[in-house]
């Protein structure tokens, strides 16, 4: 049995743990994170959705076509905070498109997920496993030789590439930072210029949330999980472990980012001027040359700051 689990969701620790649980519960299954063929735009309009959301829809449909079942949890709340409403509708949009394309129900495990603590997390793993078990092939994949879950990788410290080089922090939604089509090669551009890249990956969400809590009165209480993660990461890389520069990668048409970019710009002006800061908007139509020019100019400023 081949089970699809869109890689864009694996930026969330709960989803990474879900992948391990699925491997253990369905030893006869192979988990595929991305379709082999480049996902195409779906027949039903994606409207004015952000590019990350379009990618998620396309990846899910591509995986459905190449797998026996798709795991697409309806993420409502993670770590006690609301997810962007797009995640709520994701399984519906994918199912609508699949029905339009194939005239049948998609083989999909998509229970609603609301996680505030460990007990919720366990209940949500169970709900996904239960739904997958009911799909054709689920029982067979489960009956294969049972195996314990592979050990959790634990919380890795932010990736240190070469401690002697100065660090540029990249902040943004985890799926943007981990998907080349979404981050548009920014990490490579930074590395090629002789800097190392640090991201919030590996920093526990509760640490970032605590940092966000100290500042989120600035405009209003930010209740979206993604906003809290980015605000906490901004404070970490400007105050706790200041980087040489910080690039905030945001998605065109993202309401969460639209609010937060103002908040971060104000915070930067008041508290973090010594760390050069740039907002880079990424979209489906963003040209590589445009990104390269912006990053190059920003790194010149970082160099200028260091030599001033």
Applying CB under 6 A, which residues contact ligand SF4? 50, 52-53, 84, 86, 173, 226, 251, 254-257
| DSSP H or E stretch at residue 78 | strand 74-78
Least distance in angstroms from the C-beta of 261 to ligand SF4: 12
Helix axes 51-66, 85-102, angle to 10 degrees: 40
Between 175 and 195, whose beta carbon lies closer to ligand SF4? 175
Least distance in angstroms from the C-beta of 193 to ligand SF4: 26
3-state SS of the chain: helix, strand, coil percent to 5? 50, 15, 35
CB 277 within 8 A of CB 245: yes
CA distance 179 to 52: 9
Between 29 and 280, whose beta carbon lies closer to ligand SF4? 280
Between 251 and 299, whose beta carbon lies closer to ligand SF4? 251
Between 8 and 19, whose beta carbon lies closer to ligand SF4? 8
Least distance in angstroms from the C-beta of 299 to ligand SF4: 25
Between 50 and 168, whose beta carbon lies closer to ligand SF4? 50
Least distance in angstroms from the C-beta of 60 to ligand SF4: 13
Residue 53 makes CB contacts below 8 A (sequence gap 6+) with: 46, 86, 90
Least distance in angstroms from the C-beta of 176 to ligand SF4: 7
Kind of pairing, strands 167-171 and 2-4?
unpaired
CB 44 within 8 A of CB 81: no
Instruction: Count other Cβ atoms within 10 Å, centred on residue 160.
Output: 12
Least distance in angstroms from the C-beta of 50 to ligand SF4: 3
Q: How far apart are the first and last CA of the chain?
A: 60
Least distance in angstroms from the C-beta of 173 to ligand SF4: 5
Q: 166: burial class by Cβ within 10 Å (0-12, 13-18, 19+)? A: middle
Between 1 and 186, whose beta carbon lies closer to ligand SF4? 186
Between 121 and 177, whose beta carbon lies closer to ligand SF4? 177
């Amino acid at each position: 049995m081949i089970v699809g689990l869109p890689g864009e969701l694996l930026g969330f620790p709960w989803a990474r743990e879900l992948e391990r649980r699925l491997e253990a519960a369905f030893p006869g299954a192979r988990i595929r994170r991305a379709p082999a063929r480049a996902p195409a735009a779906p027949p039903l309009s994606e409207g004015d959705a952000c590019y990350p959301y379009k990618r998620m829809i396309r990846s899910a449909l591509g995986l459905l076509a190449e797998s026996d079942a798709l795991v697409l949890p309806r993420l409502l709340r993670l770590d006690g905070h609301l997810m962007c409403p797009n995640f709520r509708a994701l399984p519906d949009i994918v199912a609508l498109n699949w029905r339009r394309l194939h005239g049948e129900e998609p083989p999909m495990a998509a229970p609603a997920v609301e996680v505030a603590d460990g007990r919720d997390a366990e209940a949500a793993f169970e709900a996904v496993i239960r739904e997958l078990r009911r799909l054709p092939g689920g029982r067979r994949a489960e009956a294969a030789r049972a195996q314990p879950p592979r050990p959790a990788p634990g919380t890795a410290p932010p990736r240190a590439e070469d401690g002697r080089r100065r660090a540029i922090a990249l902040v943004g939604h985890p799926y943007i930072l981990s998907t080349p089509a979404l981050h548009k090669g920014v990490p490579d551009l930074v590395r090629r210029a002789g800097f190392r890249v640090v991201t919030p990956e590996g920093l526990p969400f509760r640490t970032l949330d605590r940092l966000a809590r100290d500042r989120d009165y600035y405009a209003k209480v930010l209740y979206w999980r993604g906003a809290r993660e980015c605000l906490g990461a901004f404070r970490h890389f400007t105050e706790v472990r200041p980087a040489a520069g910080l690039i905030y990668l945001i998605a065109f048409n993202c309401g969460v980012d639209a609010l937060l970019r103002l908040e971060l710009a104000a915070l930067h002006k008041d508290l973090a001027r010594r760390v050069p800061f740039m907002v880079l908007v990424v979209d489906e139509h963003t040209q590589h040359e445009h990104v390269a020019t912006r990053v190059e100019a920003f790194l010149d400023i970082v160099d200028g700051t260091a030599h001033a």
